[in-house]
Structure 1
Amino acid sequence: MISELTGKIVHKDDDACVVDVHGIGFRVDMSKRALAALPDVQNPVHLYTHLVVREDNWRLIGFLEVEERETFLDLIAVGGMGIKTALSVLGVLGVDGLEEAISQEQWQTIKDAPGVGAKLAQRILLELSGKWQNKPRRHSPNAGPSLPRSVKLDDVGEALMALGYSLEEAQAASRQTAAEGDLADRIREALRTLDRR
């Protein structure tokens, strides 16, 4: 099993790239989203891969993240789902978008991917919602940390967490900040409080 490749990109097209690994060129099928994120030709690249072995064809599928590979494997386990359609779903929605669609039970969003009809979209939703029931949700880098439903923060606390401070730090600093006044001034005051700690 080829699970990772490290080499130099020597070719890219709409569906795949070719990675030169010590003189051997590996053709790697990828989603359009992943292909768009690759560096330019002649630049180094590291890919996570999955080798699909069929009687008449071997295909190497590439991913930029381990999570994308795991999601692909979950997708192709859905009845009626092929490699091309799974890559289409990832190309349109990405891992985060698919997780959001599953959690919100929005099969219509999944149907936006080329090659996915209403019945297949509903099957994906049904099968993955069961499989992912206890799966920790990913968050986009700009989304900020998630809070337990029982925790409430004021605007200052939320701003501090968006800046990377922990929940405890944000709560402590916001408690020591004036409850009223200009938000920017209150945030600066909270930052000064954190700097003194």
Structure 2
Amino acid sequence: MISEITGIVVHKDQDTCVVNVHGIGFLVETSRITSSQLPACGHEVHLYTHLVVREDNWRLVGFISPKERETFLDLLSVGGLGIKGALSVLSVLGIDGLENAIVQGDWQRIKEAPGVGAKLAQRIQLELSGKWQNRPVKVATPLKPSADEPGDEIVQGLMALGYSREEAQYAAQQVDSQGDVATRIRQALRALDRR
């Protein structure tokens, strides 16, 4: 089992990175939480990893923190949810957002993750609520938009998904001022993807 790697980032995009460890390049799948915090290519990174072994495929998944890896493994234990779906949930909701959705029974929010339908979202909520009964959860306070900073709720929303304040502020400047917060956050995420 490969549980951690430390090496030089030689390539990265929103879903994967390649980490060179003593001349061996490891292709690592990541959530957007991790990809947004990776250093620039040529710099060293330390990732907590999980190796998923299938008959015809080995996949290494990397995380910026042990808690993100633990959350991913809990998601992976849900029947019907694979690697791609678990990373999608983490990327869209973030750790705190997922914890709050589980605590509040808000499976509709989980369904916002691409590839997760209503039945699967309900199963995730049900199974993790039982598993996380004793897990300390940071309850989010409702976002309050500031009158003098119309993009503030976008910045807070992106930061809740794991993006840095600098990335969130950049993305907030790229979106239309029209539309509801969810629509504008999706526009901001697309702007970050193109960056």
Same fold per superposition (TM over 0.5): yes
Matched, 1:130 2:135: no
Q: Using CA pairs below 8 Å that are at least 6 residues apart, which structure has the higher relative contact order? A: 2
The two structures have a TM-score, normalised by structure 1, of 0.69
**Could you tell me whether the CA contact under 8 Å between 2:10 and 2:41 is conserved in 1?**
yes
**Aligned residue runs from structure 1 range 1-197, under 5 A:** 1-138=1-138
- Give aligned pairs, total: 141
Q: 1:127-147 CA distances to partner (integer Å, 9 max, x unpaired)? A: 0000101112247xx98xxxx
Post-superposition Cα deviations, 1:105-130, rounded to whole Å, max 9, x if no partner, equal 11111011111111100000000000
Shift of 1:79: 0.8
Displacement over 6 Å in runs of 4+:
none
Per-residue CA distance 1:72-103 (angstroms, 9 max, x = gap):
11101101000000000001111111001101
Amino acid at match of 2:3: S
Give the structure-2-normalised TM-score: 0.70
CA drift of 1:18 comes to 0.2
* Cα-to-partner distance string for 1:14-73 (whole Å, 9 max, x where unaligned): 310000111110000001221112111111100000000000000000000101101111
Letter in 2 for 1:84: K
Greater radius of gyration (CA) = 1
Gapped regions of structure 1 (runs ≥ 5): 144-197
Paired residue for 1:181? none
Structure 2: runs of 5 or more not aligned:
142-195
| Root-mean-square deviation over aligned CA pairs | 1.5
Code of the residue aligned with 1:2 in structure 2: it is: I
* 8 Å contact kept, 2:11–2:17: yes
Determine what percentage of the aligned residue pairs are the same residue: 69
